[in-house]
Amino acid sequence: MAHVESLDAELQAAYEPVIGLEVHVELQTDSKVFCSCPTTFGAEPNTQVCPVCLGLPGALPVLNRRAVELALRAALALHCTIPPECKFDRKNYFYPDLPKGYQISQYDQPLGVNGWLEISVNGEVRRIGIRRVHMEEETAKSVHVAGGTHTLLDFNRAGVPLIEIVSEPDIRTPEEARAYLNELQSIMRYMEVSDCKMEEGSLRCDANISVRPRGTDVLGTLVEIKNMNSWRAVQKGLEYEIIRQTRLLSDGEPVVRETRHWDEGRGITRPARGKEEAHDYRYFPEPDLVPLALDPAWVAEVKATMPELPAERRARFVRDFGLPAYDAEVLCADPAVAGFFEATVALYPQPKQVSNWIMKDVLRLLNDAGLPLAATPLRPEHLAELCRLVDQGTINLTVARQVFEEVFANGRAPAEIVAEKGLAQISDESALLKVAREVVAGNPDAVKNYRSGKEKAMGFLVGQVMRATKGRANPELATALVKKALAEQQGQE
């Protein structure tokens, strides 16, 4: 089938996509889920392994209590029901990244069921159901060398705790899928359950998608899409698959039930080869682990120590700081940014002004630098001080922006940078008047235009004063003094 760009409006109106997402999230414990090996990301290959996570005969797993608590936190944050007891099962399949020949997972008794989260797309709030949250162990990382004859394995990742979060098929568009992932990532970060870095693989997403005639309740043939390794890939993979399946249906052709891989290079999905039989996982209870009782008192304790949810924080930002809903959404997406906002407002109680700085400048610089806030030297004290320097008239907004970029880069105090570079606003009337006189004398055309009633010429003349002072002139004073210089000139004629 040829690559298809988009669907016409008629087909879009006739068919409806039905999407469910399966998201794997690595839990941020210090040690692995069934052994004591460290979980540090980026260590030299095969330096964080032991008989348990290598699957050596006779080695026995012992459950990490912290991993259970983080999984419970995640399930509770997603409004799941926690059963009084659950257990672990073996999921059997043969693949080199799984040395035991099975993955320890949870099958018919997951840790959490029947939850939900809310997403907002184009101002419309929708609730997406969470079918289940279960615990399992991470597999080893395989490295396939292009054109090579072998596969290479690093077992550092094997046994890192994971949760799998399975949504109900409640998602209808790629945009909603994106919003769902954003909210899920936000929640996991707020709960300090996971750092959810898709580029490091600590959050991964597979999708189940079918298409049906709009207005019907029956589900179409389900296709699973794997290998979507970025936010963009999820969006593109879903868009492609919706078009492919809609075309097939409208041409009266069957959709094959299969697993497909997103091919980033070609921008298409293609059938995964082989492994169909791998869907027969022959689950059975894991005899090496005893059942897990989720005592209500323990669950209540986990719940009581849970941090605030992003939705709660957004509501609080609107209520307590009087911010627009949009600002609250942008600021609260990343808990570190939201915390930075609150710390700055505590020092400089002008929430909207602080919000503007963060949305316009902080987020832009973070995005350009590709860094999380914690990795920069920027502190709330810096932004508060900068805002005060503007309020006091020491610097104007244009200069403040330049100073801010420098603070962001090297973490020096704004007042220090202003003093050292001589960036303080020129409010000295005699010095500025001298500049204004020179500008008026040097720009006869603009002066003529102004005198003939062209108000815009004033803006040009003030701009020349700003230019001559390298942006340091107090703008109101500069305007007043240009007018004064013009009057003087007229008086001399």
- Establish if 37 lies at the interface with Zn ion (CB under 5 A): yes
Whether the Cβ atoms of residue 451 and residue 489 lie closer than 8 Å to each other? no
- In degrees and rounded to multiples of 5, residue 426 shows phi and psi of -85, 110
Which CB sits closer to other proteins, 8 or 280?
Answer: 280
Q: How many CA atoms lie within 13 A of 191 on its CB side?
A: 29
Which CB sits closer to Zn ion, 53 or 481?
Answer: 53
CB of 285 to other proteins, least distance (A): 5
CB of 103 to Zn ion, least distance (A): 15
Interstrand relation of 203-213 and 223-228 (parallel, antiparallel or unpaired): antiparallel
Query: Which of 283, 308, 274, 373 has its CA nearest to residue 77?
Result: 308
Which CB sits closer to Zn ion, 135 or 417?
Answer: 135
Which CB sits closer to other proteins, 68 or 365?
Answer: 68
Using CB under 5 A, which residues numbered 308 to 337 contact Zn ion? none
Which of other proteins, Zn ion, none lies near 372, with the C-beta cut-off 5 to 8 A by kind?
A: none
- Give the burial class of 205: count Cβ atoms within 10 A of its Cβ; 0-12 exposed, 13-18 middle, 19 or more buried: buried
CA angle 463, 469, 470 (to 5 degrees): 85
- Establish if 53 lies at the interface with Zn ion (CB under 5 A): yes
CB of 201 to Zn ion, least distance (A): 18
Q: Spell 454-469 as b/e; 16+ CB within 10 A means b.
A: eeebbebbbebbbebb
Which CB sits closer to other proteins, 143 or 371?
Answer: 143
Alpha carbons 244 and 263: distance in angstroms, whole number: 14
- Establish if 158 lies at the interface with Zn ion (CB under 5 A): no
CB of 387 to other proteins, least distance (A): 42
CA angle 412, 414, 419 (to 5 degrees): 105
Which of Zn ion, other proteins, none lies near 46, with the C-beta cut-off 5 to 8 A by kind?
A: other proteins
Q: Which residue has the tokens 């032991």?
A: 50
Interstrand relation of 258-263 and 223-228 (parallel, antiparallel or unpaired): parallel
Which of Zn ion, other proteins, none lies near 66, with the C-beta cut-off 5 to 8 A by kind?
A: other proteins
CB of 289 to Zn ion, least distance (A): 15
Q: Which stretch binds Zn ion (CB under 5 A): 33-41, 185-193, 275-283, 295-303?
A: 33-41
Using CA atoms in the order 404, 408, 414, 420, what is the torsion angle rounded to 10 degrees? Answer: -100
Which CB sits closer to Zn ion, 141 or 434?
Answer: 141
CA–CA distances in Å: residue 434 to residues 34, 395, 439: 77, 20, 9
Which of Zn ion, other proteins, none lies near 285, with the C-beta cut-off 5 to 8 A by kind?
A: other proteins
Which CB sits closer to other proteins, 87 or 379?
Answer: 87
Which of other proteins, Zn ion, none lies near 291, with the C-beta cut-off 5 to 8 A by kind?
A: other proteins
Which CB sits closer to other proteins, 149 or 452?
Answer: 149
**Tokens in use for 288?**
């090496």
Contact set with other proteins (CB under 8 A): 29-31, 35-39, 44-51, 53-54, 56, 62-68, 85, 87, 92, 94-96, 142-144, 148-155, 261, 272-274, 277, 280, 282, 285, 287, 289-293
CB of 95 to other proteins, least distance (A): 7
CB of 30 to Zn ion, least distance (A): 13
Which of Zn ion, other proteins, none lies near 85, with the C-beta cut-off 5 to 8 A by kind?
A: other proteins
Strand order in the sheet with 284-285: 102-105, 89-92, 284-285
- Establish if 63 lies at the interface with Zn ion (CB under 5 A): no
Among 7, 50, 299, 343, binds Zn ion (CB under 5 A): 50
CB of 326 to other proteins, least distance (A): 39
- In degrees and rounded to multiples of 5, residue 419 shows phi and psi of -65, -45
Alpha carbons 62 and 70: distance in angstroms, whole number: 16
Among 27, 35, 177, 345, binds Zn ion (CB under 5 A): 35
**Tokens in use for 315?**
């509501």
Which CB sits closer to other proteins, 292 or 373?
Answer: 292
Alpha carbons 34 and 99: distance in angstroms, whole number: 14
Alpha carbons 92 and 282: distance in angstroms, whole number: 6
CB of 4 to other proteins, least distance (A): 24
**Tokens in use for 131?**
């079918």
- Establish if 104 lies at the interface with Zn ion (CB under 5 A): no
Which CB sits closer to other proteins, 272 or 458?
Answer: 272
- The contact set with Zn ion (CB under 5 A) reads 35, 37, 50, 52-53
